Structure 1
Amino acid sequence: MTAHHAHPAPPLTLDDLARLDDLAAEEKAPDEVREGLATVRAPVTMPPGERLRLKDGGTFILPEGSFYGRAMTETELHEMGTLRAPDTPPRPHRPLWQPLLHYPRPTGPSLKMMRRINGTAVIPLTTGVYGEYPPRQTFFPSGFPWSCIGRIFIRNDAGSPNWDASGTAVLVGKRAVLTAAHAVPWGAPNASIQFVAGYFDGNSSAGAGGQSWATAAHGYAGQDVTAHDMAVLRLADPLGDWLGGMGARPFDDSWRGGAYWTSVGYPGDVDNGERPSFQSSIHVIDDDEDGDAQELEHHADETPGDSGGAFFGTWSDGPYAVGTVSGFEQVSGPLSIGNEDNNISAGGNALTGLVNFARTTWT
């Protein structure tokens, strides 16, 4: 008698979600949550041993070498396979004061348009855009889980007045966000990353306090391989308790070809990254195993700024990330036979192991 492996149930399709009612907030947010989301936190880092000096008239003088923000004090790369996945995938968390929206609220045009000399419109040609699905749509990130997704601003030197790059991340724990490892400046001794939840037109949709600075970053030593291109950042503030967070689970082969998945990010070629955009009903073409990690191949439209974004599906108990947006691949075969190109998200048990590490370590 042959034993058959029982495959886990797939996520809900967009048609399934369309038949479900959104859920209103069921409780009033506690005072500490309302205060936390309303309070501007502007940390200033000063050289060791220095302190603020008070001028006549009550104004403060910052010592030379001070800067706004904070540098990460801990970065660590774990050997592949050392962060074991839990028996039960980390589940999503929706605070009862956050409404549940199955579909985000769309905003203006989804693509920046250029024009030819004669005035006709042209869509910018960018790597990683396939046009197989409806164009990426910008949205206002209100409610759960949309306000849990945010933009990250990366500085190789925390004292620099300007950020060097930006990407996307999603809350997955009390103080943890999931992003791409290649977004983290691992070798920089004084780097900083700021996460702004629900970033929209320069601000957090959750309030002035809906942002936090990363104090630590953990990833895998093999992050130069796309399957392990994932990292978690520890935030100075418990945004995950205030706004909620996604769960995480590995992709199952039986889900290949199903139009279950949504990709969300802040690509520079859509409203200059100032508004989040999403694409839904995506299907995974193939998945390649690399130890405990997976490369999920698909044709969602993803370009610079999407890196680190959640590639997720929604089950009856909420949204689970099965991958984090990594990059774009081109494969060339002999005589062009077998040529292909795909966008890649990093996932697998490596993902759930990393998220579980962040949740259990950063309480």
Structure 2
Amino acid sequence: MPNHQFIGDHQAPAPLTAVRTKRAILGTGKIPESLKKMSQQTVIYTELNKKPTVEIESLEKEGQKLWKVTVPLSEKKTGARPGLTMERHPASKFLKEIKKEISFRSFKPEWMDALSVPRIKFAKIARSLRRFDGSRTEPLWVYDNARYAFEDDSWPWGLVGRIFNSDGFSGTGTLVGDRLVITAGHMVPWKSVAAGSWWMLFVPAYFNGSSLFGAGVQSYVSDARGYNTNENVTGYDWAILRLYEPLGTSLGYMGYNSYSSDWNNQPVWSNIGYPGDIDNAEEPAFQQGFTINDTDGDSDGGEELETENCDLNHGNSGGPCFAWWNNGTDPRIVGVVSGQETEYKFPFSSRNDNVFASGDGFVNLCAWGRSNWPV
């Protein structure tokens, strides 16, 4: 039995010229009650031996309604909900447990508006950028290759969010199922996992401290499956996360598709992430129209997608490389940001590439998640 298989459509994604000209699709605007309730509350997790006693004090002054709510915390003081399981399995196991009827396409809820380009917050980022290894690279001034900060919770832009973890660092992830997020394997807090207690938090449409959908719209991760790459750039640097809260049911999710080298050098790809050099990763950045110039096969069905014109930074880790199918209506992910590497060319030259972790193993992991972690 093979270890991995192609999933998705074999035809190339839609050209961005066609995608950008599509009119916005207006939703009903009727927000699901479960999402509305979540957006209007804050949840705190605390590990105590007995049921906590909540104290509520009125601080009303001159008719202003203000309440002070005090909740006792445990000595750990994390306020986080611990994860349950983190497992690593051979690619053949994931492939074997995929249900054939599972769709690889995206899902847009009826209530949400859909835009082919996000609402840009301000002009392109003009300062010099640095790659993962610290070497300088000049930003490109053509629209297709500039990074833009944006503030938008429309579909599919609000499906990407910021990930925080118990090892103390953050990155990017994307909803790909009712309660599924895909990200880089090195975003899993492996040190905490080894210590026996870990947590990860996903905040969709994160912007300056909270979700654009509402301060309470977020979820901790209950389970994870992926690979520990020991912080190395690899083609199998991916992990699928199961959320405690089924955010994708209300917000929708992106699809996924295997990558074909026939699509090399086609400027159809987009990326979203939370790079540290833009407002200290407090705002998402968007880049569109870059190309994949080369691919390298890797273990476990992994594949490195190498690009020379997609500018990335710390905080982009785990962010999606995606394009549009079905006449520009179906966004699908083909890989996630892994890191940067230098390729040496005979006899005396080298090339710095930013790398997305991709491959049939990547989409097989996404399909495994939809098959085994439904609502």
TM-score by length of 2: 0.83
Q: 1:240 to 1:180 in 2, by over 3 A?
A: same
Specify the SS of the correspondent of 1:354. helix
2:324 to 308, 314, 331: 314
Picking from 80, 102, 107, the partner of 1:93 is: 107
Is 1:304 the counterpart of 2:314? The answer is yes
| Equivalent-residue separation in structure 2 for 1:60 and 1:319 (angstroms) | 42
| Residue 187 of structure 1, CA deviation | 3.8
Q: Which moved more, 1:66-75 or 1:138-147?
A: 66-75
* Structure-1 separation of matches of 2:76 and 2:314: 32
Is contact 1:91–1:246 with CA below 8 Å preserved after alignment?
yes
Q: Which residue of 2 aligns with 1:199?
A: 206
Aligned CA RMSD, in angstroms, stands at: 2.4
> Which deviations, in whole Å up to 9, do the C-alpha atoms of 1:8-38 show, x marking residues without a partner?
22112221112211100046233223223x2
With over 3 angstroms needed to count, the CA separation of the structure-2 counterparts of 1:277 and 1:61, relative to structure 1, is closer
Aligned counterparts of 1:313 and 1:266: Cα–Cα separation in 2: 19
> After superposition, where does 1:1-363 map in structure 2 within 5 Å?
8-26=10-28, 28-36=30-38, 38-47=39-48, 49-53=49-53, 60-84=71-95, 90-111=104-125, 113=127, 123-127=128-132, 129=137, 131-132=139-140, 134-156=145-167, 164-188=168-192, 189-220=196-227, 224=232, 226-291=234-299, 292-299=301-308, 300-316=310-326, 317-333=329-345, 335-337=347-349, 339-363=350-374
1:202-257 deviations in Å (ceiling 9; x for gaps): 12111123211111111036675611000011111111011111111110121111
Evaluate the alpha carbon distance shift between residue 134 and residue 222 of structure 1 in structure 2; reply closer, same or farther with a 3 A threshold: closer
Gaps of 5+ in 1: 1-6, 114-122, 157-163
Whichever residue aligns with residue 29 of structure 1, its letter is I
**Which amino acid in structure 1 is aligned with residue 186 of structure 2?**
H
Separation in 1 of the partners of 2:126 and 2:365? 36
The verdict on how the C-alpha distance between 1:334 and 1:261 changes in structure 2, with shifts beyond 3 A counting, is: closer
Separation in structure 2 between the aligned mates of residue 315 and residue 334 of structure 1, nearest angstrom: 38
Cα deviation, residue 356, structure 1: 1.3
Segments of 5+ residues of structure 2 without an aligned counterpart are: 1-8, 58-68
Equivalent residues of 2:86, 2:225 under 8 A apart: yes
Report how many residues are paired. 338
Once residues 334 and 34 of structure 2 are traced to their aligned partners in structure 1, the CA distance between those partners, rounded to angstroms, is: 32
The answer to whether the Cα contact below 8 Å between 2:129 and 2:311 also exists between their aligned partners in 1 is: no
User: 1:81 touches 1:350 (CA, 8 Å); kept in 2?
Assistant: no
The one-letter code matched in structure 2 to 1:52 is P
Alpha carbons 2:318, 2:338 under 8 Å: kept? yes
Assess if the C-alpha contact under 8 Å between 1:141 and 1:199 holds in 2.
no
Segment drifting more, 264-273 vs 27-36: 27-36
Give CA-to-partner distance per residue, 1:167-206, whole Å, 9 cap, x none. 0000011111110001111242222111110011112111
| Cα distance in 1, alignment partners of residues 316 and 79 from structure 2 | 26
